[in-house]
Amino acid sequence: MKSLRWWLSPVLVLVACTAAMAATDGKPVLIIAGLEEKITFSAEGARVNRAPGSDSVVVIDIGTDPESPKIIATLPLMNTIVGPPTNLQITPDARLALVANSIGWEQDGAGWKSPPDNKVYVIDLTASPAKHIATVEVGKQPSGLSIAPRGDLALVANRADKSISVLAIDGMQVKLIDTVAMGDEVAGVTITPDGKRALAWKFPAHKVALLEIDGRKVTYNKYDMNVGLWPYNVVVTPNGKLALVNNNGGAGSADGQIDTVSVIDLEANPPRVIDYVTVGDGLEGMAMSPRGDIAISVILGSLTKSAWHYKPNGAAAVLRIDGKKVTKVKEIDLGGLPEGIVFSPDGRYIYVGNFTTRDISILRVDGTDVVDTGKRMKLPAQPASMRGGTW
């Protein structure tokens, strides 16, 4: 939800923690949720800035009972709805989580303002309970980030600096080793499953940039793909053949106009957009099934009661993937202002954080069909983004 709300972006995070060991290779099956309380919305849908001090990042166990998740740890860390819901991720070995905080919070007369921040938090997931062990300073307004499948590298998109920070991960140590200039504002970045390339979305430029990765060396050769208006999320199929781009369309929020998902052929040389899928109004969160046969594009809805396109609740658009053909097959109603979304590691469940209704929608996957379980997990505050590991 970013236009008048491009600065917004709930922060739900997915992390692993030793307290809830479950199915996947002996690793815990958890999601981390960043809960924000500084930014809320009035009954008319107007943004309201509140005093800081109540944000948190929570660790949620989804492995013990997938339809009845439980919070198992809470860390008092500042986070925000400002930016895409991909500002966090866990390492493949489930030992660390990284959380980028895009904005600070300062008193401005009787109100509050939000200058760019420059911090990435490092969370030790092997501790019981999980704990914040370090803070890495990167560029201004760190937003979407991505951890390489091999777990030794992370990329962080810095919106205000128009750059990407390269972080080296060695055991429990995380440090900044390089900065790549991108020429335009970059809202987020996704590393491909083979770890050899990355796709960075240039939100105001309506492009997706291609980066090459060789070990820990990241290179931008200035190759960009024109996608739809206001791209705000990119996911890649597990086989690395396709990338899907959520085009928000309204500079960060719903505007009543139908928006699209761009389909990028990553096998082509060079990669290129080969199709557009008509999806809905105001696309933001997005997730790819670990099986690669479906993806979910989250439709925001509109909070402004005076707007002709007012729609307080959002929806999940189910996209079926067959080779290089992508088709929208259905929509499922969600809660208010949905943003963060994640599949379970086995691909059987989907969790979507609803910011204004303060809960998580739990969907179940039956083959390539997706159904609403009707169950919601209530949260103590507003979820901003959700992310899993590299499954």
Q: What is the pLDDT along the chain (391 residues), one digit of tens a residue?
A: 443 333 333 333 343 333 344 345 566 788 888 999 999 999 899 999 999 999 999 888 899 999 999 998 999 999 999 999 999 998 888 899 999 999 999 999 999 999 999 999 999 988 999 999 999 999 999 999 999 999 999 999 999 999 999 999 999 999 999 999 999 999 999 999 999 999 999 999 999 999 999 999 999 999 999 999 999 999 999 999 999 999 999 888 899 999 999 999 999 999 999 999 999 999 999 999 999 999 999 999 999 999 999 999 999 999 999 999 999 999 999 999 999 999 999 999 999 999 999 999 999 999 889 999 999 999 999 999 999 776 5
Write the CB contacts of 263 (distance below 8 Å, at least 6 apart in sequence): 242, 243, 244, 245, 273, 274, 275, 276, 277, 324, 326
* Among the listed residues 207, 219, 324, the one whose alpha carbon sits nearest the alpha carbon of residue 268: 324
Please enumerate in sequence order all residues whose Cβ is within 8 A of that of 323, keeping only pairs 6 or more positions apart, or say none. Answer: none
In a domain, 287, yes or no: yes
The answer to whether position 118 is within a domain reads: yes
- Residue 27: the pLDDT is 65
In a domain, 28, yes or no: yes
- In a domain, residue 13? The reply is no
Of 318, 317, 310, 365, nearest to 336 by C-alpha is 310
Q: What is the CATH number of the domain that holds 123?
A: 2.130.10.10
Is there a domain that residue 9 lies in?
Answer: no
| Number of independent structural domains in the chain | 1
For 110, the token pair is 């009787």
Does residue 8 sit within a domain?
A: no
- Structural domain including 326 reads 18-387
In eight-state DSSP terms, residue 79 is -
- In-domain check, residue 196: yes
Q: What is the pLDDT of residue 20?
A: 43
Name which of 246, 240, 286 is nearest 267 in CA terms: 240
In a domain, 183, yes or no: yes
pTM summary value: 0.92
> Hunting for tokens 């959002």 — which residue is that?
314
Separation between Cα atoms, residue 119 and residue 326, nearest integer Å:
37
